Structure 1
Amino acid sequence: MSAHASAAESRISVRDIRHRKGGAPLVCLTAYSAPMAKLLDPHCDILLVGDSVGMVLHGLPSTVGVTLDMMILHGQAVMRGSRRALVVVDMPFGSCEGAPETAFANAVRILQDTGAQAVKVECAPAVIPNVRYLVERGVPVMGHVGLRPQAVLVEGGFRARGREEAERRQILEEMRAAVAAGVFALVVEGVAESLGSELTAQCPVPTIGIGASAACDGQILVTEDMLGLFETSPRFVRRYADLRALVASAAERYALDVAGRRFPASGETYFSSKRRPGTPVVDIPAG
């Protein structure tokens, strides 16, 4: 049995998530690295390796510049750091919009190279046939409707959706199309609260809200937003920590100690290179 298969058996499964519709809320957060995944894993049902990594870790202005190789690299890291949660990897911009065979090849590469259990696809109408193509060939797909970050160039920025009746109808139709294509769960991002509630009531698979509604079947946040690592964050984010201040304070204190020659202290250095006769030499790895 492969290491990927063995790990998958002990994790929360796609089937488990699907059966949580209307049950205990799903706890979901983003993760991009092994250390963070290890910290989050005991508390989460789903860890999403989101293409938000481009903005959060790589300083990109949007998710459009994120590549398949980037998603695989971060997906591998999250799989190494987690044991319990279902791991879902975003299909980045351009990886699911072409020919269905190409979309399938990209999805297969993500699953095979990372060991993750599912991919997430932003469900624009033109992509729905490819979502169905993936599901029919054994690729579990989580959908995404409402505010679609990969469409930021078309939609003119990040803005809440579903305030106008025509837009509400459009998003509800996108939900129905995604469900008909076979998604096992659906992220609902940046929509009017009433629409989030209505969509959840009509959707037969679990909805996972981000800036949507408390009525959703689960919630997700970008972990770095939740931890307060950025100066500003969307209005729907609740900050559960202020790590930005903690990191800045720690870096300042470190700089002062280095400048004042208070670091390293005697207990933080290795023995002198001058050794007593008969003392064995022990190689200590750096770091």
Structure 2
Amino acid sequence: MKKYFHLLLASTLLLLSSCAHLMHLDRAQNTFNQGAELENKLKFSPQSEVAASPESFYAMAYAEVKNALKQESQLKEDQLLGNAYTIKALCEWKLKKYDDAIKTADDAVGSFLQMESNGIRMPRDKAVMEALPFIIQIDKSREHFLDLPPPEKSSFADAQSHYLAVIADPDSLDKAETLIHAINQLEAARQNVKHNYELSTYFLLSELAALKAWSDCNGYLSDCIAKGKAFSNTDERKKAVKFFTDQDKAFVSKKDSLMIDLGKILPDGEENVLYKYWKIVM
């Protein structure tokens, strides 16, 4: 009986060790989802007393997925390596480890491409990983904006330099690492997943989040004209006003186009709560 018990214990430990990567991956997925759910809840109904933060869930999920990836060969054998990289990249994004997230997203895409060569397709996760660098660019643009000094302590020239580098350069609209480039890339990604309602809606909402950052920067340009350091002459001020007006027209055109798309994609169209939210925010 004692010998049987030892054999049973040994086989149980062997089984647990052989599927440990699956347990870690499952925990990572569940914990990340808890963090995302809490983040969305707090976004629309902020609460001062919350037992845990979304970041704490993302950190726990990150630890779990890194443990899962210690058995990378097993994950690959189980056709789960791309999934693990996906969760890892999403955790790194949420934890603001942007460079790591972009690299891991690239690893995930590579893994999915390898799976496709074996006849296994993961189109949703692959599309998200391909789009992640542009979603990250939106977050970085927003963070750059928050670092700007108050308009009263800035000049239009400084605000314009920031705009050209981070938001959009009218002379090079496809300039990498600008907000407008991220919007254009997400637009292309959305067109490629039209058949997937959940994913196309997510990409559209990401574009709208980018537009909010664009709107804030346009407001900053306007405030710098009105409240910032004085212009040296009238011509400088006229050029500043023209630059702002042109950029605001471009923003309004894009906003109107995306709001039409949002009205088409949401149940109840313009009566949907989400549509009304974005209409107010913009």
Instruction: Please state which band the TM-score falls in when normalised by the shorter chain.
Output: under 0.3
Which structure has the highest helix share of the two?
Answer: 2
Which structure has the highest strand share of the two?
Answer: 1
Give TM-score, length-normalised by structure 1. Answer: 0.27
* Larger RCO (CA within 8 A; separation ≥ 6): 1
Give TM-score, length-normalised by structure 2. Answer: 0.27
The structure with more radius of gyration: 2
